[in-house]
Structure 1
Amino acid sequence: MRIAVTRPEEDAGPLKAKLEAMGHEAVIVPLLAIRPRQAVEIPALPWQAVAVTSANGIRCLPASHGLAKFRTLTVGPQSLKAAKQAGLAAEAHGGDVTGLAAFIRANLDPGAGPVLYLSGAETTGDLEGQLAAAGFSCHRAVLYDAVPAAGLGVAENSLRAGEIDAVMLYSPRSAKIWRALVEAAGLSRQAGSVRNFCLSGNVASVLPESWDKKVPETPDEQAMLALLAREGRRD
Structure 2
Amino acid sequence: MLIAVTRPEEDAGPLTAKLAAMGHAVVMAPLLAIRPREEISIPALKWQALAVTSANGIRALPRGHGLTQFRTLTVGPQSMKAAEAAGFAAEAHGGDVNGLAAFIRAELDPKAGPILYLSGAETAGDLAAQLAAAGFDCRRVVLYDAVPAETLGAAGQALRAGRIDAVLLYSPRSARIWRGLVEQEGLTAGAARVAHLCLSRNVAAALPEGWNSAVSASPDEAAILRLLEQSGRTL
- The two structures have a TM-score, normalised by structure 2, of 0.98
Counterpart Cα distance in 1 of 2:110 and 2:15: 37
Amino acid at match of 2:135: G
Residue 112 of structure 1 deviates from its aligned partner by 1.0
Amino acid at match of 1:113: G
Per-residue CA deviation, residues 9-60 of structure 1 (Å, 9 max, x unaligned), is 0111221111111011100011000011111121110111100000000000
The 3-state SS of whatever aligns with 1:142 is: strand
Q: Where do 1:116-135 residues align within 5 Å?
A: 116-135=116-135
Contact residue 41 and residue 62 of structure 1 kept, 8 A: no
Amino acid at match of 2:125: G
Counterpart Cα distance in 1 of 2:103 and 2:176: 28
1:154 corresponds to which residue? 154
Amino acid at match of 2:131: L
Amino acid at match of 1:21: A
The 3-state SS of whatever aligns with 2:80 is: helix
Q: Where do 1:9-48 residues align within 5 Å?
A: 9-48=9-48
Counterpart Cα distance in 1 of 2:118 and 2:202: 21
1:85 corresponds to which residue? 85
Residue 234 of structure 1 deviates from its aligned partner by 3.3
Runs of 4+ in 1 over 6 A off after TM superposition: none
Amino acid at match of 1:158: A
Per-residue CA deviation, residues 120-173 of structure 1 (Å, 9 max, x unaligned), is 011111111111111111100110010100011011121111111110011111
Amino acid at match of 2:113: G
Amino acid at match of 1:144: Y
Counterpart Cα distance in 1 of 2:73 and 2:222: 19
Residue 199 of structure 1 deviates from its aligned partner by 0.8
The 3-state SS of whatever aligns with 1:98 is: helix
Q: Show structure 2 runs of 5+ residues with no match.
A: none
1:51 corresponds to which residue? 51
Amino acid at match of 2:117: Y
Residue 63 of structure 1 deviates from its aligned partner by 1.3
The 3-state SS of whatever aligns with 2:159 is: helix
Q: Where do 1:1-235 residues align within 5 Å?
A: 1-235=1-235
Counterpart Cα distance in 1 of 2:22 and 2:213: 21
Counterpart Cα distance in 1 of 2:25 and 2:55: 25
The 3-state SS of whatever aligns with 2:217 is: coil
Residue 101 of structure 1 deviates from its aligned partner by 0.5
Number of residue pairs the alignment of both structures matches: 235
Contact residue 168 and residue 197 of structure 1 kept, 8 A: yes
Counterpart Cα distance in 2 of 1:226 and 1:215: 11
Residue 214 of structure 1 deviates from its aligned partner by 1.3
Instruction: Provide the aligned C-alpha RMSD in A.
Output: 0.9
Per-residue CA deviation, residues 78-126 of structure 1 (Å, 9 max, x unaligned), is 0000000111111000000010011111111111111000000111111
Counterpart Cα distance in 1 of 2:197 and 2:231: 10
- The two structures have a TM-score, normalised by structure 1, of 0.98
Amino acid at match of 2:58: I
Amino acid at match of 2:158: S
